[in-house]
């Protein structure tokens, strides 16, 4: 069965530190990859997505992610975090053939940024 694994469940960083959140998926075919973020008290919202092309994708608020096909990974990065980045981050995969919106989510990573 398809699955998504996020290795870090709870990350604590100081402001200005660099961030990397790991995400691995298990599916051998074509995948579409997403990172969603849930700020305290807010809806899930899309940070960035990868479908094809340049494996390094840039999203909102200075986030980027790199797709490494050989490692089945899609890690999220930010060079310098801010207190406002405190949130829960979800990696998600859509492994359908095209006509499906089914997203498989990782367990999520809670990021706490200390001012």
Give residues in contact with other proteins (CB under 8 A): 32, 34, 36, 43-46, 49, 51, 90, 92, 94-108
CB-nearer residue toward other proteins: 7 or 114 = 7
Residues 6 or more apart whose CB falls under 8 angstroms from that of 2 comprise 25, 26, 27, 93, 95, 104
Residues 6 or more apart whose CB falls under 8 angstroms from that of 49 comprise 32, 33, 34, 35, 57, 59
Indicate the SS3 state at residue 107.
coil
CB atoms within 10 A of CB 17: 14
Distance CA 64, CA 31 (A): 18
CB-nearer residue toward other proteins: 87 or 92 = 92
CB-nearer residue toward other proteins: 42 or 70 = 42
**Six-digit token pair at 10?**
């709870």
**Six-digit token pair at 92?**
């998600």
CB-nearer residue toward other proteins: 43 or 69 = 43
């Amino acid at each position: 069965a398809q699955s998504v694994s996020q290795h870090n469940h709870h990350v604590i960083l100081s402001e200005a530190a660099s961030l990397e959140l790991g995400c691995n998926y298990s599916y051998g075919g074509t995948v579409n990859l997403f990172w969603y973020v849930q700020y305290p008290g807010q809806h899930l919202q899309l940070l960035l997505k990868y479908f094809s092309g340049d494996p390094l994708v840039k999203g909102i608020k200075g986030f980027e992610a790199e797709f490494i096909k050989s490692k089945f990974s899609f890690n999220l990065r930010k060079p310098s975090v801010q207190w406002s980045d405190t949130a829960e981050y979800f990696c998600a995969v859509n492994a359908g053939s095209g006509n499906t919106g089914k997203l498989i989510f990782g367990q999520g990573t809670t990021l706490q940024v200390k001012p």
